[in-house]
Every structure is written in C-alpha cells, then in structure tokens.
Chains A and B, each alone.
Chain A
Amino acid sequence: MKLTLRIWRQKDRDARGRMVAYDVDGLSADMSFLEVLDVLNEQLTTAGDEPVAFDHDCREGICGACGMVINGVAHGPQKLTTACQLHMRHFKDGDTIDVEPWRARAFPVVKDLVVDRSAFDRIIQAGGYISAPTGSAPDAHATPVPKVDADAAFEAAACIGCGACVAACPNGSAMLFTAAKVAHLGTLPQGQPERPSRATSMLAAHDEAGFGGCTNTGECTAVCPKGIPLTVIGSLNHDVLGAAVRGR
C-alpha cells in the first residue's frame, strides 16, 4: 500500500508551520496509523531529515497521549477510535491523507503534531477529585452504590483526556472533558459533599485556561473516542446552577 501524507510541520511554539507532503510506500493494511508515521520517520531519519514529532505512548487507546486531526477529523474517520488504534484497512491504496495537530487557543502547538494540553491538568486541579486523604477511608462496603449509578459513573470516568473534543469544537470548548469528570464524581455518594463547589471551580479554571463556551453543537461527542455523551454537560450545568442557588 502506498500513501501520500500531508503533514503539519512546525519547528517550535513560535515558528510558523506549513503542510509538507511525503510519499510512503510498502505499507500494509494491518498497520496502525502511528506505525505508518513510524515508517515515514524511519525514512526521514535515514535520509538525514528531521522526523515528525507526535505524542503517543500506550498505543492501545487508553493513555490519551496520541491525537491528531486526520483528514479534517479528530482521531480520523473511524468512530470511537483513537489515532493509535486506527488501522490502515480503513484507507485505500494511493490515498492522500492530511495530518494536523489539535488546533485550539488553549492547546498551543509545541512542535509538529505535539500540543500543550496542560490546561486539562489545571482543570482537574481546580476540583476534579474527591478529598479522601490516604488512610481516612471507611470499609469499601460501608456505602453500597446502586449498580446503575456505578455504571453511569464509570461511563463518564472513561474519558482519556485526549483533547479531541476541544479540537473538534468550533468554540474550542472543553466542556465535554470537564463535564465528564463532574458527572463521574457527582454520580457517586462519595462525591456529594464537594459537588456544588467542584463544578463551579472547574468551570472557572476551564474559562481561565482560554477554552471557549459550549453552544451545544455536539461535534465533541461525535469525535470522542470513548463515546462520552453530551448529557454529561447537562449534569454540569445542573450542578453549577445548584451551587448558584445555594449561593456558593
């Protein structure tokens, strides 16, 4: 299989970037998309050129490190699939594929396809946790959690923090990411005491980081590799409103 890749090359944060075309040959349908980039990088390296920088680690769709816009879609054409789990059997021989970094005001490009997503960590710092210092916990069976709640919490907790939702959003909003954490913790009995303050503080950190507001376009959930549903944003709004009513 042979492909033309048009890839965003940018030397560092301050440099201007541009798309550069590369031909890559000898690919197989069993390869993952990142393995194609490996092949290209091997080719570039032996030719004395600089390989393309991209974030990746687990290559199993769980660490959230990889992320690139492939043919205009965050993580590429395959639904519920991260770039590392995208396999070449979904492309045709001779295809030209565009590869770009996440583009969002709050995610500056560091180099080539690598962006700075530290704003996500700052949102979590603002309240994306339950305060349970080590050693203070009661027996795990002290509070049964109805299975439906446990399952709903799990669904929301499945977010891998990749940032595709932000890249896809016309406003560069991180509401899906933020709300997923609010919904995860707010669904569990352990998460109740901090529930009102959590949503408000996380939202403030979200806005502070330069993410845009949510106008319900739903582009986020369409590209989310973990299928985080739009309804989590509803529960965030509910918590924020609840906090406002209580005057917190």
Chain B
Amino acid sequence: MTTNPGEFVLGEPIADTAAPDGPLAERWTRRRSTGRLVNPANRRRLDVIVVGSGLAGGSAAATLGELGYRVRCYCYQDSPRRAHSIAAQGGINAAKNYRNDGDSVERLFHDTIKGGDFRSRESNVYRLAEVSVEIIDQCVAQGVPFAREYGGLLDTRSFGGAQVSRTFYARGQTGQQLLLGAYQALERQVNAGTVTMHTRHEMLDLIVVDGRARGIVVRDLETGAVTVDLADAVVLASGGYGNVFHLSTNAKGCNVTASWRAHRRGALFANPAFTQIHPTCIPVSGDHQSKLTLMSESLRNDGRVWVPAEAGDTRAPGDIPEDERDYFLERRYPAYGNLVPRDIASRATKAVCDDGRGVGPGGRGVYLDFADALERLGRATVEARYGNLFEMYERITGDDPYQTPMRIYPAVHYTMGGLWVDYDLRSTIPGLFVIGEANFSDHGANRLGASALMQGLADGYFVLPNTIGAYLADGPFPKLTPKHPDVVEARTAVTDQVRRLLTIDGDRSVDSFHRELGRIMWEYCGMERTDAGLRKAIELIRSLREEFWARVKVPGTGAELNQSLERAGRVADFFELAELMCVDALHRTESCGGHFRAESQTPDGEALRDDEHFSYVAAWEHATPPVLHKEELAFEYETPSQRSYS
C-alpha cells in the first residue's frame, strides 16, 4: 500500500506513563521503596538480555549481574570497551553543588526542562537530576580519574544552558573514563559468572511471544551464524541513530537496527524528528569525508565565536581588526554569551553563514578563537584544559589553534528521539526495556551538554535495576524452545533478509546509498525544516530506497565476516526510519528545541513553540500509514515559557 507523503492516522492517546503522583521530590523514593522485588534466590533463575555495552548497557549489565540475575550482554564491536560512549569528551553533569554556586537538584531539573524546550516529562527529569549525585559517587569509587584541584577535590566546569558549574570531567576524555569504569565493573561480573559477554554479535530482530519480549535474533559477525537467545526480559541500550544523516559525530557503526526491529515488532517510536545538531564540529573537508569530529562544547567556556562583520571578507582572521568582527553569540545572547544551548548556537551559526559571512572553503564555517583566553590564562592553562582537543584539531586540519582560530560548523550529534518508555523505562512491549540514548526519555526537544552521560548512567546503574524487578517478579516466564513458531518466524525473517541483500548483486555500493540518504536528510530534515522540503524528502527517500533494493551490491557471503553486509542491513533500516523522521517533522508544525520549522519563528528568528497544539510526545506505531499516539505533557512544577537566553 502506498500512502501520500506525510500521511498518518491519529490513534488512541497514551493515558498512562506509570509515573507516581504526589510531590515531585518524593516520587522516585516512593517508587523505589514500594516497587515489587525479586528475592535473591529467584534472581538466579531469571535471564536478562542487554543489547549494548555503552554507558547505559555496560552499567546496567554490571549492576544486574551484581544483583544476581543471569545476564547476557551483546555488542557489535570486538570489545565492550569500544562502545560509542567512549568518544564523549566534555563531561557529565551532577547537582552536587560542590562549588556553592547555587546549584541544586531543583535547578538541574529546571535547566533540563527548559533546555529541552518544555517537551519532556517532569517526573523523569526530576529523577534524573536526583540520581545525578549518586553517579559521581559511584564513578569515583570505581576509580574514574576525574579532574581534581590542588586540594584534592573534584574540579568542575560550565556547559551550555547553565549558569552554574556542575560539569565533572576527565580532561577531554570523560566518556572514555566513565565507560572504562562501567566496562571494568562489567568484566568483574563476567569473572564472577553472572554476565556472559557476546562481542561481535549484532541483534537483528526482537522475539515477541504471547505479547512479551522473550529474546533476540543475533548474527555472529565473524562466522555469520544466525542464532536466537531466549530470556525473561530484554533491555535495549543500543544508542542513538544520528548516522541516518551519514555524516555525524557518531562512531561509524552506530545504527538504529535494534530499536527499529523492536519498533517493527510493536514498540512505539517517540519524537524521531528531535535530533541535535552540535554547533562546534570540524567542517566537512571534501567528498571523501567519512565522519565528522566534534570539538567539545567545553571549548566554549574560553573560546569566542565570531565571523567577519561584512559578507565576502576573505582576509586571514588575524588581519581582521576587532571592530570588524561580529561576536554574534555574545551580541545576540548577552546573558549566556558563547554558552547558549546547542540548538540556538547552531542556528545562529547557520544564519551568519547563510548571510555570506561564513569562513573557510564553501563559506560553511565560523571562528572559535582562543586568542583572548591565551592572553588571559597563558598557554599552560589553556593546554591543561584543552590540550588534547587542540592536538586533535591540528591532526585533522593541519592548523594550529594556538596560532589561528579554529574553524567550526554544526554537525549531527545526538538523537533525543527514540523508543518510547514509561517512567519505569518500559517500552510498549511488555518485557522490553530501553535505556540510554536509545530511548526518548529525558531531553525533550534539545539535550543540554553533559547530560547524555548522566542519563545513560542514571538509567543503567540506578533506574533500570530498580524498576525491572517489578516485571521480573512475575517470572520466570514459561520456558520457550527455539522451535516455537514465533521464534522460528523471527529467525527466518533475519536469514531471509540476509539472503535477499546478498542476491541483489547490483552495481552500487552500500556506502553510496548511505551518503545519498544522508544528503537528503541534512538538506531537508536538518537544521531547518519546511513543509515543502519534508514532502520532497519523503519522495526522494522512497525512490532511493526502491533503488537500494534493486541495485545494491553486497560482495561476499553471509557465512563470514562481511562488513558490507553489516552496513547494508543498517542502511536498510535507516531508510525506513528516515521516512518516519520526516513524517514526524512534518506533522509538528511548531518549532521547538532542535526541531526548527521555518514557518514557526519569532520576529528575531528564534524557535516559536505552539504549546496549545504540540505540548505532547509524538509516539509512532509502525503501520502503513503510521499511527500517532500522543502523550500529553502536564507541567505541574515548571511553567512553559518562551526560552530566553538573551
């Protein structure tokens, strides 16, 4: 059945998010102390599958193992330590208020709700802020070498969207150090025999039996063997889908397959159009570009963003006098200056480049200048704070940022959308839990810097291990065998798809399709979206998808390590996701956070929300045409207001 581009059906609203009522500050304590428990002896008889070994999956698998469940954890890399979380640079937020600068759980809650442009759930966000404090304690106990001051106490810095200093960090490698902490805790459980780790395995489908998630179909990436793993519950921690744009700051293997397969099996997908474009990345240098590199947001603590005041000024940056420069973020947003949230900084950057004032090849870049910081702080301090980022910049571009300003441009970075979950992190399929970037939960329409690490670890160490018990208390569920018809069906669907991809034997590589899909998405579903553009994108995606299934060339066989085949499966799912993203972006005619509809802006070009019509989470059911279920957002503690950072 074909549908008109953007067509959808309105389904039943989502009535219950399972959030406890009562005072906001007591909800999580109450849920924890009244939730059903599984006694330790029974835990040994319960199997839990965790897909993903990043901050969310790694911390969850380790903690579930410590609790005594029988855990099996999967990742597609050759070691769990290589999950994409390893690449996070800048830091992790926590409302410790060690600086006595007025921070508190309430303030972190407020900043996150506001930063998300009032499109997230109050109960979840409050819990996140609450749990943030325990995360830092946990990580320090594991030996995470956070930056410290001379007195031996933890150092912090500021990130966008906050006026306090609450971001803990480990030089420019915070994600690496946090992930190694979780990885080590995970390997400790492997040693203890509670967790079995399956590396180089990719989940290709979810097994649902009698309405419950009961297992997964996996492909061993080395041998090509397709097998099933059956369990009492499945936890997806498979990360975000930014690579639908082909070029992004994500690792090359990041994909939507695990989430998308679950979506096809009945899990609702929420706010797919909410993607984050990060303002400070190294600009594209040519057609060969395979990924984009982030320059951490922390650089905006000391770097100043500017472009020439006049369009067409091609002088070298050092030759442009101070009064002929436009420090456009400082000018437009004096209260936050260079530290405005990401969506705002990205759009402002795009605007000056659209004006013809961009710098570098193609005019798609702005300066991030450290001259003032170097003068104020001295080279040694700048080096201590950002040395490794400066080196990385130089390695990639050949330019030395101590001498010339960096050139940066926005790039796709993070996806706020993801599988819909309730307060307990349950998807709409009983027994399927979703954590970390793979769920949609806490960041609304825009995530604040240093809050993804916080959310991943909150979900994995503290929230899921506490909420999964209520579900597992009803288990173990009836024993299943691989011969069960639903299991056979799921496995066969996977082997069929593998065979189909291998037999097309066309003349275009997987990568060429991915690149073209990415260009469509960036053009029409990127920083600025319009009705006409999105409709056009849907048509382009459909015809490209058809071409993919007719012309893709996947060399080799299915019974070996075959990286083209892995990518082909992922790109096939990206095609389907891409269309849903456009449908979601098309239906939401307001602008909010990272979702900017050109038709809905204030006179000075800021995102104009429409609370009357769009104060909801858009949760999509897989169908032709897709079915929209709305979860209305109720604000009891925060009052939605037009965000102002000026």
Contacts and interface: CB of A to CB of B under 8 A. Distances in A.
B188 A63 contact: no
A125 B185 contact: no
Given A46-B507, A59-B252, A158-B173, A137 B143 contact: no
Contacts of A212: none
Interface in A3-43: 11-12, 27-28, 30-32, 34-35, 38-39, 41-42
A60 B183 CA distance: 20
A59 B173 contact: no
B478 to A, nearest CB: 31
B66 interface: yes
B188 A137 contact: no
Contact of A147 (B152, B199, B512): B152
Contact of B187 (A59, A110, A125): A125
Interface string B378-398: 000000000000001001111
Interface stretch (A47-55, A68-76, A168-176, A236-244): A47-55
Contacts of B285: 28, 30
Interface stretch (B287-295, B536-544, B579-587): B287-295
A21 B171 CA distance: 42
Contact of B561 (A56, A85, A110): A110
B82 A65 contact: yes
B560 interface: yes
A64 B185 CA distance: 19
A54 to B, nearest CB: 8
Interface residues of B, number: 80
B180 interface: yes
A30 B87 contact: no
Contacts of B197: 121
Interface in B102-159: 134, 136-143, 145-154
A89 interface: yes
Closest 5 A/B residue pairs (Cβ): A144-B152, A129-B184, A137-B141, A132-B141, A137-B137
Interface in B503-518: 507-509, 511-512
Contacts of B8: none
Interface in B162-212: 170-171, 173, 176-177, 180, 183-185, 187-188, 190-191, 197, 199
Contacts of A38: 288, 290, 511
Contact of B84 (A44, A58, A111): A58
A93 interface: no
B394 to A, nearest CB: 10
Nearest to B136: A140
A118 B252 contact: no
Contacts of A49: 555
B87 A140 contact: no
B561 A53 contact: yes
Interface string A82-104: 00010101000000000000000
A85 B396 contact: yes
A190 B140 contact: yes
A56 B395 CA distance: 18
A124 interface: yes
A184 B289 CA distance: 36
Contact of B78 (A46, A65, A89): A65
A111 B293 contact: no
A157 interface: yes
Nearest to A30: B285
Interface in A197-218: none
A68 B465 CA distance: 40
Nearest to A11: B560
Interface of A: 11-12, 27-28, 30-32, 34-35, 38-39, 41-42, 44-46, 48-51, 53, 55-65, 78, 81, 85, 87, 89, 110-111, 114, 116-118, 120-121, 124-126, 128-141, 144-147, 150-151, 153-154, 157-158, 160-161, 184-185, 188, 190-191
B150 A51 contact: no
Given A134-B462, A153-B145, A154-B145, A161 B81 contact: yes
Given A57-B253, A63-B251, A140 B143 contact: no
B81 A154 contact: no
Contacts of A31: 286, 288
B42 interface: no
A31 B293 CA distance: 13
B371 interface: no
Nearest to B285: A30
A96 B77 CA distance: 30
Given A42-B509, A49-B555, A134-B462, A58 B288 contact: no
A133 B82 contact: no
Given A53-B563, A111-B560, A65 B77 contact: yes
28 contacts: A32-B396, A35-B288, A39-B288, A42-B512, A48-B555, A55-B78, A59-B290, A62-B87, A62-B173, A110-B561, A118-B78, A121-B80, A121-B199, A128-B184, A128-B187, A129-B184, A129-B187, A134-B185, A135-B462, A137-B140, A140-B140, A144-B152, A145-B148, A146-B148, A154-B170, A157-B170, A157-B180, A190-B142
Interface in B266-319: 285-286, 288-291, 293
A134 B461 contact: yes
Interface string B90-105: 0000001010000000
Contacts of A46: 507-509, 553
A184 B143 contact: yes
A132 B82 contact: no
Given A51-B555, A62-B173, 16 more contacts: A11-B560, A28-B286, A35-B288, A48-B555, A81-B395, A116-B78, A121-B79, A121-B81, A125-B187, A133-B63, A136-B141, A141-B153, A141-B154, A144-B148, A150-B145, A153-B143
Interface string B390-419: 001001111000000000000000000000
Max chain A C-beta neighbours (<10 A), residue from B80, B143, B170, B289: B143
A34 B291 CA distance: 11
B147 A150 contact: yes
Contacts of A44: 555
A134 B197 CA distance: 19
Nearest to B143: A130
A105 to B, nearest CB: 18
Nearest to A112: B561
Nearest to A133: B66
B531 interface: no
Contacts of A30: 285-286, 288, 397-398
Given A62-B176, A141-B154, A50 B82 contact: no
B564 interface: yes
A136 to B, nearest CB: 7
Nearest to A27: B288
Contact of A154 (B136, B142, B171): B171
